[in-house]
Structure 1
Amino acid sequence: MSKINVVCPHCGGVNAIPIKDSYAKAACGHCKASLLDTKPISVDTSSFDRLMLNDERLIIADFWAPWCGPCRSMAPSFEEAARHFPLKAQFIKINTEEQQHLGGRFGIRSIPTVIAFKNNRIVDQFSGALPASQIIAFVKKHL
C-alpha cells in the first residue's frame, strides 16, 4: 500500500500514513493526537520550512495580517474550506506582520493571498477574499 508523509499539526512529528480516499481515524505516532484535525495552523519560518520539506500533501497557505479587514472576513471561509480536506491538504496561516521574511520570500504584495504548494513548489495562487465554496474549488483542482 502506498504511503504519504504527513507532519502532525500538534507536535511537528512526521508520520507515514497509508493513502486512502477517506480516513475514519488517524493518530500521530509521536504525540498520539488526531491527524484529522483540520483547523488551519499558524506557522513561522521554521515550521513552514519543516512542512515544505516533510509533508507530501497539498499545502494551502493564507498570507494575512490582523489589521486587514478582507483577511479577517475570509478567515471563517478558510476554516470552513479546511474542514473538507482532512489528511488531503494542510491549511496554514502566515501572519505577514510577524513573519515578514516569508511574505518577502514569496513576493506577497497584497493580502489576503492564498498560495497552494505541492512538493515544495507553488502550483497556484489567488489574492483577495473568497467565499468557502471558491476556496474549496481552488483546492480540489490541485488534489
Structure 2
Amino acid sequence: MSTRKLTCLACGQFNRVTAERPAAAAKCGTCGARLFPKKPAEIDAKILAKAARADEVPLVVDFWAPWCGPCRMMAPEFAKAAETLNGSARFAKLNTQDHPEASARYNIRGIPMLAAFSGGRERGRQAGVQRAEAITGWVRELA
C-alpha cells in the first residue's frame, strides 16, 4: 500500500495518506481539516514553505493581494480549477500583502502569479489572469 505525504493547509502538520483512500475522506490527524479542501485554502508563508518542501501531491499556489483587480477577477476561475482537480492536486492562496517575505523567497515580481510545487521543488509558474480551463490544463501538463 503506497502512501503520500501531505502538509495540512490549516495547521501545518505532516500527514501520511494512502493512495487508495478517496481524497475526500482524507483528514488531518491533528486538527481534522480536509487535506484536499474543495476550495482554495488561505495559507501563510510558513505553511507554504513546509508544504513546498515536503508534499508529494501537487500544490498550486495563487500569489495575490486584495488591492489587485486582476487577482480578484481570477479568484473564481482559480476556485473552479480547484474543484475540477480536487483529489489530484491541492490549491491554496497566499496574500502577498500580508506575507511579503513569501514574495521575496519565491521571487514573485508581479501578481497574480500561480506556482506549482511537488516533491520538494517548484514545477512551474504562470503569470497573469488565467481561466479555469487554462489552469487545469497547465496543472495536468505538470503532473
TM-score, length of structure 1 as denominator length: 0.88
Name structure 1 gaps, 5 residues minimum: none
Aligned to 1:50: 50
**Unaligned residue ranges in structure 2 (runs of 5+):** none
Counterpart of 1:110? Answer: 110
Report the secondary structure of 2:142's partner residue: coil
1:83 — aligned with what?
83
Quickly say closer, same or farther: Cα 1:141–1:67, change in 2 above 3 A: same
Q: Aligned-pair distance for 1:86?
A: 2.6
Local SS of the residue matching 1:81: helix
Change in Cα spacing, 1:116 to 1:34, as seen in structure 2 (3 Å) is: closer
Instruction: Return the alpha-carbon distance in structure 1 between the equivalents of residues 46 and 81 of structure 2.
Output: 25
Choose 63-72 or 78-87, whichever is displaced more.
Answer: 78-87
1:71-126 deviation line (CA, Å, top 9, x unaligned): 00000110111112233222111111111111112221111010111222111111
Paired residue for 1:37? 37
1:131 & 1:34 partners in 2: Cα distance?
25
What is the distance in 2 between the residues matched to 1:33 and 1:105?
27
Change (3 A) 1:60 1:50: same
Counterpart position of 1:125: 125
2:59 is matched by which residue type in structure 1? I
Aligned positions, number: 143
1:32 positional shift = 3.1
Change (3 A) 1:81 1:100: same
2:15 maps to which residue? 15
33 and 107 in structure 1: CA distance in 2 versus 1, 3 angstrom threshold: closer
Cα distance in 1 for residues equivalent to 2:21 and 2:124: 23
Aligned partner letter, 2:66:
P
Q: Give the Cα separation in 1 of the matches to 2:51 and 2:2.
A: 20
Deviation (angstroms), 1:21: 8.7
Decide whether the 8 Å contact of 2:36 with 2:90 is kept in 1: no
Question: How many Å separate the matches in 2 of 1:32 and 1:91?
Answer: 18
Distance 1:34 1:45, change over 3 A: closer
Letter in 2 for 1:42: E
Percent of pairs identical after alignment?
36
2:135 is matched with which residue? 135
